[in-house]
Structure 1
Amino acid sequence: MANILIAGGGIGGLAAALGLAGRGHRVTVLERRESFTELGAGIQLGPNAFHALDLLGVGAQVRDRAVYIDELLLMDGTTDEPIASMPLTGDYRARFGNPYAVVQRSDVYEPLLEGCRSHPRIELRGGRRVVGYEQRGQGSGEVIAVLSDGERLSGAALIGADGIRSDIRRQLVGDGDPRVSGHTIYRSVVPVEQVPEELRWNTVTLWAGPKWHFVHYPIGGGALMNLAATRDNGARTAVVGQPAGREHVLDEFPELGATPRRLLELGRDWKAWVLCDRDPVDTWTDGRVALLGDAAHPMLQYAAQGACQALEDAVVLAESLDCCEDTVVQRLEKYSAARRERTARTQLVAREIGRRLYHPAGEAARERDAMLRSLSPGGMYDEVAWLHGVDLG
């Protein structure tokens, strides 16, 4: 089988490595950081993510770390009144075949990393940033990964899983810097014992307001509470993990009602990000090079599908490359064709969710409330079936 290079050792890159090695390929993962670690706090995993994790062989390990929540709850962040809820237990799990859960990013990353480290056909190399690639004609059977220190490595294929600011995408697509959304998100994680018992809800709760929203849910096996507050403040410069003072964060959300205010006040050591994404593109491949995860389809967090879609990518990529080295080019194109429409829809829906569901004001907010309140649980499941249901191309 083929020797495949992967640029990027995040969730998507490691998932791709496991999937490809499971098909008999030799895989080298090239990570720009010296060590393989995953930063970030809480993420949500839909049933489609668990389906992919099971196919990659790490579903049980992630399930052991996950918190299985009872419902997705949308609240009016100014009045403390409920707007709508989507139950996530019996009927939901029966329909979609898997649970909905929340985890720390490390709860997904570490099982993937352990699987890669124990696999005889996977090599993990830290401190190796891939800055570009060269090809010697599609028929040569070789692509060259060019590293930042000048080293060159050859393989039958190169997978760019190097994130939203991907060097591989820069060469392959050439669409410049990511799109700055104008939304700033502040994140904090607090021990659950600091949360009043009456506020320890086993839900993903979103408090919606005009041009802002606040989300909280348990992670770390229920030992921690993840807090994330987002403001549509017109930010135009990308910010990544910048410390933010507690008083500044509280001042950004003066309209919060009494209950969400109590939770927001618990946050300490806040960090800020200005959210970015990109427009969908049709071109994911260039000969023996293909994109995956945030390098292919970076999206806003509002659909809670970034990691889920990267995991799906990994499964479809492995299935597409389940054959011979001399058909790699065609099989990468097959992978891209299988994934483009679904991920593009998810990217655009994530933007629309922020605008229409999380941040409206006045009459637009009243229309949202009426629409959501008209839906039964089954009707809500119909709305998310295309996304939460299994669709691996």
Structure 2
Amino acid sequence: MSAESSKSNPPLQALLPINFLIIGGGIAGLACALALRRVGHRVTVLERTDKVTARGDGGVRLPPNLTKILFHWGLKDILMKKASITKRLIFMRYETGERLGEHVWDEEMLKETRGVFMMLTHSELYDILYDAATGLGAQVRYNANAVELDPAEELVRLDTGEELSADVLIGADGGFGVCRAAILGNGVRGKGTGLAVYDTIVPSSSLPEYAEEIREWHGQFVAFGNRHAIVAYPIHGIEDIAFQFYAPDNEHEGKYGSNPTVDVLSVVDGISPQLAVVAKVARKAVRVSIQEHPDLEDWVHPHGRLVIIGEAAHPFPPSTIQGTAMAIEDGAVLAKLFSHLSEERQIESFLYAFQELRQERANTVRHGEFASVMYMTADGERATTRDENMRRKAAAGRNVLDGERDCDAASKWEEYRVIFGYDCEDEADDWWVQWGMLRERALDRESIHASSVPSLLDLYPMMSSVQVTSTDGE
């Protein structure tokens, strides 16, 4: 089905509906709940905070590999009403305001991906997923703080002492939650990078000329600096502009969900006068430390039906493009696999199939997003080379992210095509056709063969009626 369709066909319904308990009611948890309800499973979501806190604030970018999923789920109409569509990236120099060039998204590439590049607020995306999931019958419980897990018994204990169980536990409670800790068996801290993101919103009315430029650009802009960077894009149409300021940071506790307490002017050392205007009118920012986590070997608990998704499985640098996309891809793949559930014995194999399908994809994209952060905030010779290359391409009328040679440009296009054009639900369907169905057929053949061979108990009455003649003639 084309991702451009605003309505989705009814998905395959699982022959054996089971109970899922999702720990974490953020974007990852709600998207997973929606996906599982679409295929007929029963879902309860536990969110440790209240709904207002869980909705969050700030902006979020939805790349084509994500929007195609949401379109397929029948959410295109509401997204088109809420979101802005980006067509280009504008690059500037953080310290001087110099415009380095632009990159216009290739129309043919976007057409091939079957998605579009959207921008909206975290709270708007949250509400869209919440309404869709609960509209299909998902139960969402707020102020339900899970403090202990027993994966072997598929049991969750809340801080109130209440115990809940399900056929499968899904950990969607982020990089600091109890589910990642249960998989690791130890603490969940990552390694500090010395950088943080300061996430905030600037009313367009405070920057009328600047807001008009963004409207004309139909997109977002990035400012490169020495150990600093800015990413900005319009939300609420053009009413507000989401800003993420990257700056040095030696602390390790800041995360989404924290209160906005940071004065942006205090962290924008060396900023150009024209960009400093933005910092002066910005609201208080939420500081989110950028930590680097090692790839996990296991996403499935070895002694129980607990699987982790989203940031719990693969923590992304905050505010990067693909973090939200990978979390929603996780839920889409898990649901696609469990749409084929017909017997309880399949549960474990589907969980490990999910891990097999998702690990390499998510980890590869995550490493790329870390590289992008370092690229934006590079200093010294690396930054000089980056900026000179962009200036030269811009002067030649080229997209500044194109490769240096034809083969490099093709390679760069291929990189975007692979990431944006990836269809996670198709991948899950392919796994079922190539491996899942074959395994089921093999098991059916073994079952038929076993049932056709008489057991010793079946043969015993026949054996007892046979008269055995001794060779001695007795």
SS of residue paired to 1:301: coil
- Show CA shifts across 1:302-334 (max 9, x none): 641111111101100101112133311110110
Please state if 1:388 is matched with 2:400: no
Of 229, 238, 243, the match for 2:245: 229
Of 182, 200, 204, the match for 2:194: 182
State the shift of 1:244 in Å: 4.3
SS of residue paired to 1:285: coil
Maintained 8 Å contact 2:171/2:309 = yes
- Show CA shifts across 1:132-156 (max 9, x none): 32245xxxxx622222222222211
Report the RMSD for the aligned CA atoms in angstroms: 2.2
The residue that corresponds to 1:85 in the other structure is 102
Maintained 8 Å contact 1:20/1:27 = yes
State the shift of 1:274 in Å: 2.2
Maintained 8 Å contact 1:88/1:100 = no
Please state if 1:364 is matched with 2:364: no
Worse-matched range after superposition: 38-47 or 126-135: 126-135
Maintained 8 Å contact 2:211/2:238 = no
SS of residue paired to 1:238: coil
Quick check: which one's helix share is greater?
2
Superposition pairs for residues 186-197 of structure 1, below 5 Å?
186-197=198-209
Worse-matched range after superposition: 70-79 or 217-226: 70-79
The residue that corresponds to 2:37 in the other structure is 21
State the shift of 1:339 in Å: 0.4
Q: Which amino acid aligns with 1:192?
A: S
Please state if 1:272 is matched with 2:291: no
The residue that corresponds to 2:447 in the other structure is none
Maintained 8 Å contact 2:155/2:163 = yes
Please state if 1:333 is matched with 2:352: yes
Superposition pairs for residues 1-393 of structure 1, below 5 Å?
1-35=17-51, 37-88=54-105, 90-120=107-137, 122-136=138-152, 143-179=154-190, 180-200=192-212, 201=214, 202-233=218-249, 235-240=250-255, 241-244=258-261, 246=263, 249-286=264-301, 287-301=304-318, 303-322=320-339, 323-324=341-342, 325-355=344-374, 357-372=375-390, 376=399, 379=409, 380-392=412-424, 393=427
Change (3 A) 1:299 1:31: same
Measured in 2, the distance between the counterparts of 1:35 and 1:204 equals 29
Maintained 8 Å contact 2:170/2:307 = yes
Q: Which amino acid aligns with 1:260?
A: L
Identical positions, percent = 26
State the shift of 1:25 in Å: 0.7
Worse-matched range after superposition: 98-107 or 179-188: 179-188
Q: Which amino acid aligns with 1:223?
A: E
Q: Which amino acid aligns with 1:166?
A: G
Maintained 8 Å contact 1:51/1:390 = no
State the shift of 1:57 in Å: 3.2
Change (3 A) 1:79 1:35: closer
Quick check: which one's strand share is greater?
1
SS of residue paired to 1:99: coil
Maintained 8 Å contact 1:6/1:30 = yes
State the shift of 1:168 in Å: 1.0
Superposition TM-score, scaled by structure 2 size: 0.75
State the shift of 1:9 in Å: 0.8
Unaligned stretches of 5+ residues in structure 2: 1-16, 403-408, 428-474
- Show CA shifts across 1:225-283 (max 9, x none): 112211123x133124354454xx32432322233223222213333232334222120
Unaligned stretches of 5+ residues in structure 1: 137-141
Maintained 8 Å contact 2:228/2:377 = yes
Maintained 8 Å contact 1:76/1:209 = yes
State the shift of 1:362 in Å: 2.7
State the shift of 1:116 in Å: 1.8
Change (3 A) 1:279 1:391: farther
Measured in 2, the distance between the counterparts of 1:38 and 1:276 equals 23
Maintained 8 Å contact 1:8/1:29 = yes
